[in-house]
Amino acid sequence: MIDTKRFLSLLLALLLLFSAACAAEEDTWICLTCGQDATGDTCAYCGETRDVWTCADCGTRNLSDTCTKCGKEKKVSLAVRASSPYPLTAFPALRVLAASGDAEALFNLGKYYEKGLFVTQDDEQALRCYRDAAEAGYAPAWVYLGRLYDAGVMVKPDAAFALDCYRKASEMGNAQAYWYLGSFYEEGTAVEQNYGMAMDYYQMAADRGDADSWMSLAYMWLQGKGVEADQQKALEYYEKAASLGSSLACDYLGYLYMTGTLVTRDTAKGIEWYEKAAELGNARSMYALGYAYQCGQGVDISMDEALKWYEKAALAGHKNAYLVWKAYRK
């Protein structure tokens, strides 16, 4: 004869195990509104309905894969939102695209784990994202990994592995990777120092529009590293870097013309280059402009203009600018 209580207890235990198994197998999805993991048909974190996405163009909420108002495809809209400079907008789309194996999204999601934005800060998860993105063929991920191993950030310093990362990115035609390889050969890091190889890599990067590489080439010509020193060629290359938007090159050219180094002294040109650098956010040039207006170098003396530039330099991070602004303000 069956023991009823025992039978009911066994039945209850089986039901609990079944429920637990079902819960474990319950489908998990990423909410496209808040970016959090969710189960069921509604996000417990923000209350959004499963599969709902908001069109990046017209702001319409949709369930189907095409916007009912403007016709934009869901995947295209997600890519637009993922590239947003606003983390609240980008994060949900990045998580969804990364889950589908999108290399660029994986790389950018790694930044969120590295910085702890909307997720718990997790170096291992960040590195996993970067490595997955790199292995998926995203050259900037190889460059970033190289920088991490070169500097020993989140990992033990490993110049040889950094070099390997840069080489893999260079095989994909990445200009930054060429510049880093050039710097390794110039400095003799993890390789035998070779100025000729350094120049070759800098040139490859420069030919792809990399301003930093024009700066490096200018320095090599100026110092005569691997070539006979040529100040005119160095100046030409600094100007090329400046034309590509290098604030450092604009600032340096400002210094050259203000001091008459390599060129005939021309304070008016120096002020022009400093102003271009300042427009690009260069704090040192902002400070130099403040000093120029304070002392009347290439411009009429104006303490009001000087204080304006000192203030801008201070807000841009120049350490001495705030002290000067504080000392001279009315």
- Give alpha helix (H) positions in 67-224: 74-82, 87-99, 103-115, 123-135, 139-151, 159-170, 175-187, 195-207, 211-223
Q: What is the helix (H) or strand (E) element at residue 62, kind and residue range?
A: strand 61-62
Mean pLDDT by 10 residues, the chain (330 residues): 58 53 65 92 93 93 94 93 92 94 97 94 97 98 98 97 98 98 98 98 97 97 96 97 97 97 96 98 98 96 97 96 91
The HSE-up count of residue 237 (CA atoms within 13 Å, CB side) is: 22
Question: Can you tell me which residue has the tokens 């991490």?
Answer: 148
Alpha-carbon distance 197 to 181, whole Å?
Answer: 9
In DSSP terms, 54 is beta-bridged to 61
Q: Which two tokens stand for residue 40?
A: 């069921």
Q: What is the pLDDT of residue 22?
A: 45
Confidence at residue 58, expressed as pLDDT on a 0 to 100 scale? 94
Strand-pair partners of 61? 54
- In DSSP notation, 245-279 reads T-HHHHHHHHHHHHHTSSS---HHHHHHHHHHHHH
3-state class (DSSP) for residue 230? coil
| Cα angle 250-256-258, degrees, rounded to a multiple of 5 | 100
Cβ atoms 220, 202 nearer than 8 A: yes
245-330 — its CATH code? 1.25.40.10
Question: Length of the chain in residues, anyone?
Answer: 330
53 neighbors 62 (Cβ within 8 angstroms): yes
The CA-atom distances, in angstroms, between 310 and each of 23, 267, 285, 319 are 62, 19, 10, 11
- Other beta carbons within 10 Å of 44: 11
- The pTM of the full predicted model, rounded to 2 decimals, is 0.84
Q: How distant, in Å, are the alpha carbons of 129, 229, 258, 325 from that of 37?
A: 17, 60, 58, 50
Q: Tokens standing for 154?
A: 């989140």
Q: What pLDDT is attached to residue 21?
A: 47
Whole-number pLDDT of residue 2: 52
Rounded to 5 degrees, what angle do the CA atoms 276, 278, 282 make?
A: 120
Give the residue from 157, 209, 202, 152 showing the smallest Cα distance to 177: 202
The confidence score (pLDDT) of residue 69 equals: 94
Q: From the centroid of its chain, how far is CA 25?
A: 38
Q: CA–CA separation, 197 vs 279, rounded Å?
A: 35
CA-CA distance, 187 to 191, in Å (whole number)?
Answer: 9
Distance of alpha carbon 185 from the chain centroid: 24
Supply the pLDDT for residue 329: 87
Domain boundaries, the chain: 30-100, 245-330
Predicted confidence at residue 24, as pLDDT, reads: 44
Return the pLDDT at 12. 57
